[in-house]
Structure 1
Amino acid sequence: MQMILAYWCVLIAAFMPVAFVAYAKFAGGSRRMDLADNHHPRAWLEQTEGAQKRAYWAQLNSFEAFPAFAAGVIIAVISGGSIGAINVFAVLFVLLRIAYGWCYITDRATARSLVWFGATACTIALFLVAAIG
């Protein structure tokens, strides 16, 4: 049996927070994290500013969004929901969450909120697919 696309999306979403925090630690910003900072990475991240701080916040929000999304995919599949619909909502969720991180890092607050709403709607849609079965 082949793994459905939506399951790959769960894997991508699970590691999306790592990508955002990697940006916060090693990409643009006032300073990059070094080995000494790695003894207390959360304290270091709290002291960052600008895009680095927003990337850290995108990481935290990604952790918050992940459980409901993963549960929605799994529940929709085991409930016998349409695999096509599940795949569409899962892929759209991942794309919107990537856009969410970009909006957050680049300080586009209104767009970020709209994209967040869209990704949340995808999660809700997964549960609706499960309910319809």
Structure 2
Amino acid sequence: MTAAEWCVFGTLLLYLLTIAPIKWIGFRRFDNSRPRDPAFYNDPIRARALGAHQNGIEAFPFFAVAVLLAEFRAGPQRLINELALLFLIVRIAYVLTYVGDRPTLRSILWAIGFAINIAIFFLPAIRNYLPM
């Protein structure tokens, strides 16, 4: 497996690990028979963790498709790996700023992550113009 493919897996784990600790910490208030109970997420930190989790679910498909498409279409693997790792780092920072209630920085990180996905997606189209 390539480093980029491991980053896809890491991104999947990240969005799962964003919400799991919140449920575990609040285990006395969390009812697993009603996992989507809005009352559990009334607490601001829980609400932000849920938002970060949901955004992770939303961001994951484009990232995974961009990585796989770039690899299948013979994009420069080293650059795909580097951008995928950068995306994972940005997503970790995004989660921390989301839970930490830093909305402006969070939005900037989201835009950077999206730009990284666009770059990965178009690597096969521009590979002939890249210095190798």
Q: CA RMSD in A?
A: 1.7
* Equivalent residue, structure 2, for 1:68: 62
1:122 matches 2:120: no
Query: Among the aligned pairs, what percent are the same residue?
Result: 36
* Equivalent residue, structure 1, for 2:20: 22
Q: Deviations over 1:5-33 (max 9, x none)?
A: 00000001112111111132134xxxx13
Q: Return the letter of the residue paired with 2:102.
A: R
* Equivalent residue, structure 2, for 1:8: 6
5+ residue gaps, structure 2, are 128-132
Q: Deviations over 1:21-55 (max 9, x none)?
A: 1132134xxxx134870101111575332111100
Size of the alignment, in residue pairs?
127
Cα pair 2:41 2:50 within 8 Å, conserved: no
Cα pair 1:45 1:56 within 8 Å, conserved: no
* Equivalent residue, structure 1, for 2:130: none
Distance in 2, Cα, partners of 1:7 & 1:45? 37
The two structures have a TM-score, normalised by structure 1, of 0.88
Distance in 2, Cα, partners of 1:45 & 1:4? 42
Cα pair 2:5 2:67 within 8 Å, conserved: yes
1:82 matches 2:86: no
5+ residue gaps, structure 1, are none
Q: Cα distance 1:67–1:96, how it changes in 2: closer, same or farther (>3 A)?
A: same
